[in-house]
Structures are given as structure tokens and as C-alpha cells.
């Protein structure tokens, strides 16, 4: 029997049992769709996070107290503005050094209030990180030196406190202390799960006074070039270690953050794909099951085909192709469903999704392989049927 | 005279049921000549169905020698047996064994699929055969749209489409009323007159009476042959 003929016979058989074929395919469709959609979501999330980390600015070096190791206890910061000056001298340019002391604070303007992330910062922040103003001006060096009570609002904060009105020059209170708005940021959206539009920047000195501390939480450095970033990190950590002999410091680069996040997300994507793969496997078992039923149901047909000259391999091929058709058609439908689900999720929910060729190829290949794998046993059984017994079956 | 279509010499067939040997045929010798018309008669359990399966190459004997179309089946692999069935034998069954949801034409063309004949030629030859059995107007009908007699005619056309030398008919009239049965037998006989050997398996004495010779079986043995010696007086001579 020619192969083209065998395909036609298999297709006819599937058509003859349309409902059963569709239900059998459904298992494979769901399995493949799950693999494609979940891998797309995993990949999309990873890409988004990479963009966000890179969007912070280039050649960044974040310095925090404590060791960055799994299981290490978080340290209480004992960094101060003097340390920031010392780091500025090592870098050779104090404009490349930013600091933060952050605190969640209630901010009020008139009758409206909102809970924000107050960040005490230096005037250098926009040059170290990528941060664009929408209106007004940023903090100045003199604002920092004199602990002037001025604030720059994130886009979300500005909207919730002032609506459509221009906030520049208006008064608000942070933790009960009066500040004046001098600028607003462009909207930035979420970054690593944090709403960046919910920030309020004030001079670090004013924030320290408000919080009753002389500490800062962390330092960030924008290295002059990528090649010297590691050396600079080591120098800074060493210098800070000399100033605070009983504390460890760590310097992390964006590349290191990306590496760690990438590893975590890679594992996550793998786990998602594995779970989806199991459902694909279950779909394959369903195909096998139905093929065994089909062989039993069509015993008489098999007997007749053998009587008129079908060889065992002709019969085996017919049933194997049926199984392969079920899983490949199911695979194609599943790919379409998976892509559709991923695109919808990407557009309608905050979950990012990016469909990748490798996941499509893998899902389709696996579904075809599942068809062969789970079709072989029923096909062999059909091929080996004794024609005398098969013809006698009622 | 040409070689006989089928020669069975002291053929036996024993089934192994859970370790117990059950003999179904116990040494049967029979020759089916080209153009022969034989009826095999016997009650249920006499071994006549087993004999028919052997003569048709669906099964192999456990003893004796069986030569179909000049080839000893003991030397043939399963694929070779399939080829032999395709080329030498045409089967007609009591229950027709047509593929449901498949047109008369495609049912008739089925054996040619396994011979590797192209679709166009298959369909042409199937239409020709349906014409010959008087179903030229039923070509695209499905089995459930046809009467029993028509279905059996489709089955006969299917048996003939490969140009076999022997038609093996197992109770071909068993599921038909007597008038329809008669016309099916008439058809088989007209084919026989054209040179195809016909082997009829039946328990119906009237049907058997129409054959040129009769073989009566009981308990796995041939108990009588009529006429004795079983040499056909009017062999069609094959071709």
C-alpha cells in the first residue's frame, strides 16, 4: 500500500468518528497550548525584567551593607552621607554617586492623601539613574545642603493628589511636615514589581531629619565605563570596609542582578514547561487508549482488509498514521490556541508573554513523537490480529 | 490440463485451547481445479469453516501440505500469504463484510489498494465490476443504502476485482431470502461459467445441490464425496 493511500485511509477513519477524534485531540490540544502559552509567559517575564533592569541606567553599581548570599541575614545599614562623600572621592566625581534613604509615608494635599514611597536622595539621582522630569525642576545641591523641604512627585502621586491641576509650587505634607512641590516625573510604570510612579523624592538631608536618622540605606554609582566596573566595585567595598570594620559590604552590577534573576526565571520557565509537558503526556495516553478501543471496535474491518490482501504492516501503518494524525492535528490546533492565549494575556493582563520559536517547535515535535510513541502498541496489536479470529468477531 | 487452483493433501488443523489440543480437521485431502464448482457441506462444528479458512490462505494447517496457486503455504511468510490471498482468492462472506460509510465503488476497489493500483484505475475497474454484477446504478451508494442482495453483489464484485482463480463463498445466501439467494447463486454460477472456480461452504442441501460436486464433512473428516472420486466431468479448463 502506498503511503499517500495510508494517509487517506487514516484520515477517513478519523472523519468517520468525528466526535471521538475531536475529544481525543482535545487532550493534545490542551497540552500543547499549555506548553506554548506558559513558556511564552515565562520568556516574556524574563525579557520584561531584563528591560527594566537595563532601563535603570547603564554601568550601575549598587552598594549595600551585608553579604549578598543565599541565607545571609539582612543587615541594618550603618552607611552615612560621609561614606557617600568618601565613595565620591574614589570614583573621582561626586555626581556619579547617588544615595537613598527610603520610607513609606502618607502624603497629604488639602483633603486628599496617598501612601507613597518617600525617597531621600541627592541632587545627583537623575544623572545616575535614568529619570526624566515631566514638569518643574529636580532637587539642587543647595536643596540638599540646606535640607530644604521641597519634593519631586512621581506621576501617580501627582495625579492622585492634584488631579489635572498643575502641582508645581503647591504645598503638601509628608509625615505631617510641610513640603513644596518643585517638579514631577514622567510616568515610568512598574519595575521589578515596584510602582515607580508612587515615589516622592526629597533631599536626603530633609528625609533624615523627618525620620530622625543620619543613616542612608544604599549607595549607587554610575561607573565611567564598563571595563572598570568590577575594579571600582572592589575599591569601594574595600574603602567602606576600612571605615566600618565590623560590617561587610557588597557591590552588585546590573549584569549580576540579571544573572541571578535570569537563573530564577529560567528555572521557573522550565518548571512551567514540565508541568505543561505532563499534561501533554496525559493527552498522549488518551490517544493510546482511544487507539486501542478503535482497534477492538474495528476488528472485523481489520479481518476483512487482511482477507483481501493487507499485510500486517499495512494494517499497522494505518493505525499508526491515525494516531500521528490525531496528535499532529491536535498539535497544530494547540499551537494556535497557545499563541492566541499568550497574545491575549500579553494584551489584556499585566502578564507579559513572548512566543518563541523553540517552544513551538518543541511542542509540535513532542506531540508528533507522542503520536508515534503511543500509536505503536495499538498499531502492532492491529497488525498481528489473526484474520480468522478477526473475521469471526461480531 | 492446467495446475489445480488448490491442492490439500492430508491436511489437519489442531487448535490449542489452554494447553488442550482440539482437532478441527483430521486429515483432509481435496483438489480444487481451475473452473471447479464445489460445495462443502456439513453441520456446524464439522470443520467446514476451518477448511475454508485454510483453502483461502487465512490460516495454516498444522499437518499435511496445502498448495494454493502453485505455492506451498508452509514456505510463505505472513506478507507473502497476504499477497497470495490478494492474487489468487476472492472471499464472499455470509455477513458481506462491507466497510460501512464507504461507497460501493470504494468497497470494491479495496483489494486493489493493497496491490498498489492507482486511484484512477482502481475506481474504473471497480465501476466495471459493479456494472457486471448488475449494480451500475448503485456505484456511489453506501452499504446501509442497499438491500442485502445488493450488498452481497458488491461483496462478489470486490472478490472478483483482482481477477482471482478461486471464489470462496461462506454461506453466501445465509442472510438472504430465497429469491435474492437464488439470484446471488445465479451470479456465482455465471461467473463460474466464465472460468472462475467456485467453492461454496453451506449447510443448505438445496444450495449444495446446485454445485457440480459435493463434499460432506463431519467431525473434521470428509465422509463422502459426490460424485465419488471428485473429478469434475465438465471442467471449465481454467485459462
Q: Convert the pLDDT of each residue in A229-238 to its tens digit.
A: 888 888 888 8
* Mean residue pLDDT across chain A: 87
**pLDDT tens-digit profile of A90-116?**
888 888 999 999 999 999 998 899 999
User: Which is nearest to A192 in space by CA: A73, A313, A49, A56?
Assistant: A49
Q: Is the pTM for the entire model greater than 0.80?
A: no
Alpha helices in chain B (DSSP H): 48-55, 78-88, 104-113, 119-132, 148-160, 178-193, 205-209
Residue B238 has pLDDT above 60, yes or no: no
Q: Is A218 exposed, middle or buried (0-12, 13-18, 19+ CB in 10 A)?
A: middle
Average pLDDT estimate for B145-168: 95
The gap between the terminal CA atoms of chain A, to the nearest Å, is 27
Percentage of residues in chain A with pLDDT exceeding 90? 31
- At residue A311, the pLDDT reads 93
Residue B232 has pLDDT above 60, yes or no: no
- At residue A192, the pLDDT reads 65
Percentage of residues in chain B with pLDDT exceeding 70? 95
Quote the CA–CA distance of B154 and A393 in Å, as a whole number: 21
B113 contacts A5? CB cut-off 8 A: yes
Band (B224; pLDDT cuts 50, 70, 90): confident
Tell me the three cell numbers of residue A125.
Answer: 539621582
Average pLDDT estimate for B147-162: 94
B79 contacts A313? CB cut-off 8 A: yes
Question: Parallel, antiparallel, or unpaired for β A190-191 and B63-68?
Answer: unpaired
Quote the CA–CA distance of A229 and A59 in Å, as a whole number: 7
Quote the CA–CA distance of A108 and A110 in Å, as a whole number: 6
Q: Which of B113, B156, B159 to mutate to test the interface with A (most CBs of A within 10 A)?
A: B113
- At residue B236, the pLDDT reads 36
Q: Which of B53, B101, B114 sits opposite A308 (nearest CB)?
A: B114
Tell me the three cell numbers of residue B95.
Answer: 455477513
User: Which is nearest to B60 in space by CA: B81, B43, B39?
Assistant: B81
Please give the ipTM for the structure prediction.
0.91
Quote the CA–CA distance of A140 and A205 in Å, as a whole number: 12
Quote the CA–CA distance of B152 and B179 in Å, as a whole number: 13
The CATH class of B6-226 is alpha beta
Chain B residues whose C-beta sits inside 8 Å of any chain A C-beta: 53, 56, 58-59, 78-79, 82-83, 85-87, 91, 93, 97, 99, 101-102, 110-111, 113-116, 119, 158, 162
Band (B97; pLDDT cuts 50, 70, 90): very high
**pLDDT tens-digit profile of A25-74?**
998 899 899 989 988 988 888 888 888 777 777 788 888 887 665 555 55
Average pLDDT estimate for B106-116: 93
User: Which residues does chain A have with pLDDT short of 70?
Assistant: 1, 67-76, 191-193, 394
B116 contacts A308? CB cut-off 8 A: no
B59 contacts A388? CB cut-off 8 A: yes
B21 by DSSP, 3-state: which?
strand
Band (B234; pLDDT cuts 50, 70, 90): very low
Q: Which of A1, A307, A386 sits opposite B116 (nearest CB)?
A: A1
- At residue B60, the pLDDT reads 94
Task: Show residues of chain B in contact with A383, CB under 8 Å.
Answer: none
Any idea where the domains of chain A sit in the sequence? 3-52+259-392, 76-83+95-222
Amino acid at each position: 500500500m502506498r503511503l499517500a493511500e495510508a494517509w487517506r485511509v487514516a484520515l477517513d477513519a478519523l472523519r468517520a468518528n468525528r466526535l471521538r477524534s475531536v475529544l481525543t485531540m482535545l487532550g493534545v490540544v490542551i497540552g500543547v497550548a499549555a506548553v506554548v502559552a506558559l513558556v511564552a509567559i515565562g520568556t516574556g517575564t524574563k525579557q520584561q525584567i531584563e528591560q527594566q533592569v537595563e532601563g535603570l541606567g547603564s554601568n550601575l553599581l549598587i552598594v549595600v551593607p551585608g553579604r549578598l548570599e543565599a541565607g545571609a541575614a539582612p543587615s541594618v545599614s550603618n552607611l552615612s552621607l560621609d561614606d557617600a562623600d568618601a565613595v565620591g572621592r574614589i570614583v573621582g566625581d561626586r555626581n556619579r554617586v547617588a544615595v537613598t534613604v527610603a520610607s513609606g509615608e502618607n502624603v497629604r494635599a488639602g483633603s486628599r492623601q496617598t501612601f507613597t514611597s518617600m525617597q531621600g536622595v541627592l541632587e545627583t539621582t537623575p544623572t545616575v539613574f535614568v529619570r526624566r522630569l515631566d514638569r518643574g525642576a529636580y532637587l539642587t545641591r543647595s536643596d540638599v545642603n540646606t535640607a530644604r523641604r521641597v519634593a519631586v512627585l512621581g506621576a501617580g502621586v501627582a495625579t492622585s493628589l492634584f488631579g489635572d491641576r498643575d502641582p508645581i509650587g503647591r504645598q503638601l505634607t509628608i509625615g505631617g511636615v510641610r513640603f513644596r512641590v518643585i517638579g514631577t516625573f514622567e510616568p515610568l510604570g512598574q519595575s521589578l514589581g515596584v510602582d515607580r510612579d508612587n515615589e516622592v523624592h526629597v533631599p536626603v538631608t530633609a528625609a533624615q531629619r523627618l525620620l530622625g536618622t543620619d543613616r542612608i540605606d544604599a549607595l549607587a554609582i554610575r561607573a565611567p565605563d564598563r571595563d572598570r566596573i568590577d575594579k571600582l566595585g572592589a575599591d569601594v567595598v574595600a574603602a567602606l570596609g576600612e571605615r566600618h570594620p565590623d560590617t561587610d559590604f557588597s557591590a552588585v552590577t546590573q549584569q549580576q542582578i540579571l544573572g541571578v534573576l535570569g537563573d530564577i526565571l529560567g528555572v521557573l520557565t522550565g518548571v512551567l514547561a514540565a508541568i505543561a509537558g505532563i499534561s501533554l503526556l496525559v493527552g498522549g495516553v488518551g490517544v493510546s487508549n482511544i487507539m486501542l478501543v478503535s482497534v477492538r471496535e474495528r476488528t472485523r474491518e481489520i479481518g476483512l482488509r487482511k482477507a483481501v490482501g493487507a499485510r500486517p504492516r499495512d494494517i499497522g501503518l494505518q493505525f499508526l498514521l491515525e494516531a500521528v494524525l490525531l496528535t499532529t492535528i491536535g498539535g497544530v490546533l494547540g499551537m494556535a490556541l497557545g499563541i492566541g492565549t499568550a497574545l491575549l494575556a500579553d494584551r489584556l493582563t499585566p502578564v507579559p508573554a513572548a512566543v518563541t520559536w523553540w517552544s513551538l517547535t518543541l511542542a509540535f515535535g513532542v506531540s508528533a513523537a507522542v503520536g508515534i510513541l503511543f500509536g505503536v502498541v495499538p498499531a502492532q496489536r492491529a497488525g498481528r490480529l489473526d484474520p480468522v479470529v478477526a473475521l469471526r468477531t461480531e | 490440463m492446467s495446475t489445480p487452483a488448490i491442492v490439500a493433501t492430508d491436511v489437519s488443523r489442531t487448535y490449542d485451547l489452554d494447553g488442550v489440543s482440539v482437532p478441527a480437521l483430521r486429515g483432509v485431502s481435496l483438489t480444487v481445479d481451475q473452473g471447479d464448482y464445489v460445495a462443502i457441506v456439513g453441520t456446524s462444528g464439522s470443520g467446514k469453516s476451518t477448511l475454508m479458512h485454510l483453502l483461502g490462505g487465512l490460516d495454516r494447517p498444522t499437518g499435511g501440505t496445502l498448495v494454493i496457486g502453485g505455492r506451498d503455504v508452509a514456505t510463505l511468510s505472513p506478507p507473502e500469504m497476504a499477497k497470495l490471498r490478494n492474487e489468487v482468492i476472492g472471499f464472499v462472506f455470509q455477513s458481506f463484510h462491507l466497510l460501512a460509510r464507504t461507497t460501493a465503488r470504494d468497497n470494491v476497489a479495496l483489494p486493489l489498494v493493497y496491490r498498489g493500483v492507482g486511484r484512477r484505475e482502481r475506481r474504473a475497474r471497480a465501476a466495471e465490476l459493479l456494472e457486471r454484477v448488475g449494480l451500475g446504478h448503485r456505484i456511489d451508494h453506501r452499504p446501509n443504502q442497499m438491500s442485502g442482495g445488493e450488498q452481497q453483489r458488491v461483496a462478489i464484485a470486490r472478490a472478483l476485482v483482482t481477477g482471482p482463480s478461486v471464489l470462496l463463498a461462506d454461506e453466501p445466501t445465509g442472510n438472504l431470502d430465497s429469491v435474492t439467494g437464488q439470484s446471488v447463486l445465479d451470479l456465482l454460477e455465471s461467473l463460474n461459467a466464465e472460468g472462475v472456480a467456485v467453492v461454496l461452504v453451506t449447510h443448505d442441501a438445496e444450495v449444495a445441490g446446485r454445485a457440480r460436486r459435493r463434499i460432506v464433512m463431519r467431525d473434521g473428516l470428509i465422509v463422502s464425496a459426490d460424485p465419488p472420486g471428485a473429478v469434475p466431468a465438465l471442467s471449465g479448463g481454467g485459462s
